[in-house]
A and B are shown apart, each in its own frame.
Chain A
Amino acid sequence: MNNLENRKIFVITLFAVVALIFLGRLFVIQVLDDSYSSSADNQALRFVTQYPSRGIVYDRHGKILVQNQAAFDLMVVPRQIAGIDTDAFCLLLDIDTVEFNRRLDKAKEYSNYRASVFQKQLTADEYAKIAERLYRFSGFYGQKRSLRIYPDSVAAHVLGYIGEVSGKDMEEDSVYKSGDFIGISGLERQYEKVLRGDRGREVLMVDVHNTVQGRYKEGELDIPAHAGTNLITGLDLDLQHYGERLMQNKKGSIVAIEPGTGEVLCLISSPTYDPNLLVGVKRASNYQLLVENDSLDPLFNRALMAKYPPGSIFKIVQALVALDEGVINESTAIACNKALVGCHNHPSAQNLREAIQMSCNPYFHQVFKRMVNRGTSSNYFEDSSIGLDAWEKRVKKFGLGNRLGLDLPSLKSGSIPDVALYDGIYGARRWAFSTIYSVSIGQGEVEVIPIQMANLAAIIANRGYYVDPHIVKELDGQRDSSLHYATHSTEIDASFFELIIDAMQRVVDLPGGTARRARIDSLAVCGKTGTAENPHGEDHSVFIAFAPRDNPQIAIAVYVENAGFGGTWAAPIASLMIERYIRGSIGDSLKEARVMEANLLNVIKDED
């Protein structure tokens, strides 16, 4: 029997071996292998993204241009759907079973275990109806989002719109996940990084039925969302709104700038659209409608992108450069010789003031000739080339032919012709003043965009300099919140400006002026009309102005396509804008009514 007693050793060893195998196995799955931890997190934790509210955009008086409204995405985790009443669910969402299956298949294709969007952007009301019954449908839950809302439906082109991120966006910045929103145009795009804020994360625990059971570790791992920064713009909501109404049924643009600061007071491109159309689920379909079914191209931002011949307003630039170059002075008299270039009937200008006041074409033909042909070279062609080069550099100081420092995307630079351009067209030394003379009166190869015209008005108002025009002047609630914009000088003697401004006031005030319709009682408005020749149809009507003459508060450019003579439509529109901005009300209601009611869209284009 004695040796049987030793069998206890075997029995205890058996127990110990099993215990050791267990401990070894436990060591492997608990300590060495991490995959179980991640599996556990995947099924018991739900990481809910906390979307920050996007920054709000205010006008210069603190009025809201765009803000947010709550919306909900209905999310689905296909794996977690268990025994739900599909028919009841479809009824709740007002979809059919085919659609239900189509969406579910799409979600499964993405992932069985991860949430994807089942129905996008339900409004708060729509979601409230669904939410109270959602507990019956395991696998589905609501994800709060926010949508943009534009209380006054104005400034669509300035504010821009947001939309879902593209694959490229996600590649470039890993912050973005599928279904996120990103600014696509306008301020929304320009200030995307400021407006979007920082997203947060909430870690919730769910049970096997996918019911939320509380915050994981009392929220220790949660990251709060930080709302986006609000933008304070220099826009004047009232002026913007008023301008959009004035431009109804007209094609064109109004840009107004506060000369001293460069703040854009309004930026109107007409026709415009209701920015609320490009919000949420309807965005894609409405976008198609705006692009395809509207020949007037309402999405095209004329204020920043339309390149127009400036017409006679360019004569101001010509006069200033010529004065500073010393090729003319205030009493230079040039006969109105219609043989050089066409002109309307008026007495010959006895001095520069009269030439501007009457907008004499032959006068500026000669002024430009004096600048281009300076006799620096005996060769006529060479001489023109040297002259144009010097001229072009000075003109570009007016913010023309260059992209302005505006804080909006898709800004065009316009064009001031230079030597290279003409060499390219005609060949070197194969062109001379006689080839390019139409530039003298703002035709030909000169192309200016409306905001550059407004900036030109601001330069004159400032007597020689401009601050980069800008929409946003302050980031709300940030230290050192005011943004800095560069000041640029035209390098033209300030004294020459008083002369030009004199003439511009005559344009508006004197009986012989071309912009009598821009007069405002007891307010010194200085302006210059333009009538840009349009080879495709009726001439474009142009007017730039600023007011009051001393301490100017507003500089403005109005461009109305196919509206004919500059004094007819552009000038009165500008004066209404100025009066509205400075006085807050309009004295001459007949003038206002005439503009409001005018429909200048039906001028037929030559489809040549």
Chain B
Amino acid sequence: MRTRRSIFEDIDWVMVVTYAALVLFGWISIYAATYDETHPSIFDLAKNHGKQALWIGLASIIAITILFFDHRFFETFAYLIYAGAILLLLGVLLFGMEIKGAQSWFVIGSISFQPSEIAKFGTALALAKYLSSDGKRFDQFKTKLYALGIIFFPAALIMLQPDVGSTLVFAALLIVLYRQGLSGWIFGLGFIAASLFIIALFLKQYQWTFFEQVVQGKMAFIVGLTLLAGFILYFLRKRKGSRLAVGGGYVVSLGYFLSVDWLFDKLLQPHHQNRINELLGIVSDPLGAGYNVHQSKIAIGSGGFSGKGFLQGTQTKFHFVPEQSTDFIFCTVGEEWGFIGSFIVISLFLFLLGRIIWNAENQRSSFTRIYGYSVASILFIHFAINIGMAIGLAPVIGIPLPFFSYGGSSLWSFTLLLFTYIKLDSERKYVLR
């Protein structure tokens, strides 16, 4: 074992610099989004951008503090942190403050925070700890079940708030399980399920007339699916067990397809239904359910190739885009910096994600690797949903863009998430395999 001179010596500065670049770009964007001539200072605490400066300062303190921790702290206390997060999630259901229809905030004086942020961190740690502990083999069913349980439990509690966005974030941890050996079919199945879901929603509104017979879209699909199953069976007739597999798949698909309406109507709230219909183009209501996305696309689209210039964005600055410093912060980038700015931000994120995965694969410690994958997965789903929603490719789900969006709670939790990884990563040379 080597001894080292400084805790900063083995830090991956590339990740730190990428993080800093994203945070600063985010801060500038918040400034542009909330700028007004009466408060021109970027440090004006009366405005979001001034507060964000403060949050960034505190985030740096958090980051540095983490680097001073002993790296074993996180592994040792992983379950404890997870348990604490679960308690907070239970607590918020009882004592939390309801904001925008979800009981997901603790408010103490002027400080407010979301336990779901801690839960992401705690779950990532617990998952890493569980899967890296001695004797756990992922090919065992029990291990898979426990791992899924670690993810599902906090997700379910968050769903009760209900906070669909944060719940969805936990689904991203399936990527971690995939890396650990979960069958890739899970994604295939997910893809098929999503496709069927979309097809079912589309077909609901169509009907055709053949030979004076009105054929409902749903009916046509069932006939098509039956024919498809028949063909597959015919071609695979010589292979053993194919009958059961195809037959089973057919029954499950049909059942799922037929229950989509019910799932859609019963499980989702009306505003979620509207947003999905709007996204799929089944309904178009740019003044109602589609307003946010419509305005967001106008803001981003009007930026053109090189953007309107710093502080020159009219759509974001003049409040046409709602939530322009939090969920729709990407609009400011798109409008003021154009395609070039969008390209830079997306590239920074992709680079950071790739770097995390790359570093993770170079770890001797599987705890660090699994934690790294968790961090990448969580950041990725935030990135995918947030920007996807701003450009009309994902339904409107209010989750922040990591490091970018205004808000101390989210900035700190992402900083905590990432710098814990940076800390663990910096120890890779000193960890015995």
Binding site for A on B (CB under 8 A): 37, 175, 178-181, 184, 297-305, 312, 314-315, 317-320, 334-335, 338-339, 342-343, 346-347, 349-350, 353-354, 357-358, 360-361, 373, 376, 380, 383-384, 387-388, 391-393
Contacts and interface: CB of A to CB of B under 8 A. Distances in A.
Interface stretch (A7-15, A189-197, A490-498): A7-15
Contacts of B298: 36, 39-40, 43
B179 A11 contact: yes
A173 to B, nearest CB: 33
B112 to A, nearest CB: 26
Contact of B361 (A8, A15, A18, A209): A8
A29 B391 contact: yes
Contact of B300 (A5, A8, A36, A205): A36
A33 interface: yes
Interface residues of A, number: 40
B150 to A, nearest CB: 19
Contacts of A37: 301-302, 304
Contacts of B180: 4
Nearest to A19: B350
A39 B295 CA distance: 9
A30 B318 contact: no
Interface string A16-59: 10110111011101110101110111011100000000000000
A45 B178 CA distance: 50
B354 A21 contact: no
B343 to A, nearest CB: 6
Contacts of A43: 298, 315, 320
A289 interface: no
29 contacts: A4-B181, A5-B361, A8-B358, A11-B376, A15-B350, A15-B380, A16-B350, A18-B388, A22-B388, A23-B342, A25-B392, A26-B300, A26-B339, A29-B300, A30-B305, A30-B339, A33-B301, A36-B298, A40-B302, A40-B314, A44-B314, A44-B318, A205-B314, A208-B318, A208-B319, A213-B317, A213-B318, A214-B37, A216-B314
A380 to B, nearest CB: 89
Given A11-B357, A30-B300, A208 B305 contact: no
A499 interface: no
Contacts of B393: 21-22, 25
A11 to B, nearest CB: 6
Contacts of B302: 36-37, 39-41
Contacts of B346: 19, 22-23, 26
Contacts of A7: 178-179
B314 A45 contact: yes
Given A37-B301, A43-B320, 5 more contacts: A8-B361, A11-B373, A12-B353, A18-B388, A209-B319
A12 B302 CA distance: 31
Contacts, number: 122
A423 interface: no
A589 B181 CA distance: 122
B357 A26 contact: no
Nearest to B294: A39
Contacts of B335: 40
Nearest to A206: B318
Contacts of B315: 40, 43-44
Most central of A4, A16, A22 by chain B CB within 10 Å: A22
Which 4 pairs across A and B sit closest by C-beta, in order of nearness? A36-B301, A40-B302, A207-B318, A44-B314
Given A30-B334, A30-B342, A31-B339, A19 B349 contact: yes
Contacts of B392: 25
A217 interface: yes
Nearest to A79: B287
A207 B319 contact: yes
Contacts of B338: 30
A19 B344 CA distance: 11
A26 B334 contact: yes
A62 B175 CA distance: 88
Main secondary structure of the interface of B (DSSP, over half): helix
A22 B391 contact: yes
Interface of A: 4-5, 7-8, 10-12, 14-16, 18-19, 21-23, 25-27, 29-31, 33, 35-37, 39-41, 43-45, 205-209, 213-214, 216-217
Nearest to B335: A40
B177 to A, nearest CB: 11
Contacts of A8: 179, 357-358, 360-361
Contact of A22 (B179, B317, B387): B387
Contact of A31 (B179, B297, B305, B350): B305
A38 to B, nearest CB: 8
Contacts of A45: 314
Contacts of A33: 301
A25 B391 contact: yes
A44 to B, nearest CB: 4
A4 B179 contact: yes
B21 to A, nearest CB: 16
Contact of B320 (A18, A23, A25, A208): A208
A187 B312 CA distance: 47
Contacts of B387: 22
A26 B391 contact: yes
A33 B301 CA distance: 8
Contacts of B319: 207-209
A285 to B, nearest CB: 41
Most central of B299, B334, B342 by chain A CB within 10 Å: B342
Contacts of A16: 350, 354
A27 B354 contact: no
B181 A40 contact: no
Contacts of A30: 300-301, 303-305, 334, 338-339, 342
A4 B387 CA distance: 30
B298 to A, nearest CB: 5
A29 B361 contact: no
A3 to B, nearest CB: 10
A437 B312 CA distance: 85
A8 B387 CA distance: 23
B119 to A, nearest CB: 23
Contacts of A208: 318-320
A357 to B, nearest CB: 84
A23 B338 CA distance: 12
A112 to B, nearest CB: 11
B9 to A, nearest CB: 27
Contact of B354 (A12, A29, A206): A12
Contacts of B297: 29, 36
Nearest to B380: A15
Contacts of B305: 30-31
Contacts of B353: 12, 15
A41 B300 CA distance: 13
A482 B315 CA distance: 52
B24 to A, nearest CB: 21
Contacts of A40: 298-299, 301-302, 314-315, 335
A41 B318 CA distance: 12
Nearest to B320: A208
Nearest to A214: B37
A216 B358 CA distance: 47
Given A36-B302, A206-B318, A27 B339 contact: yes
A27 B318 CA distance: 24
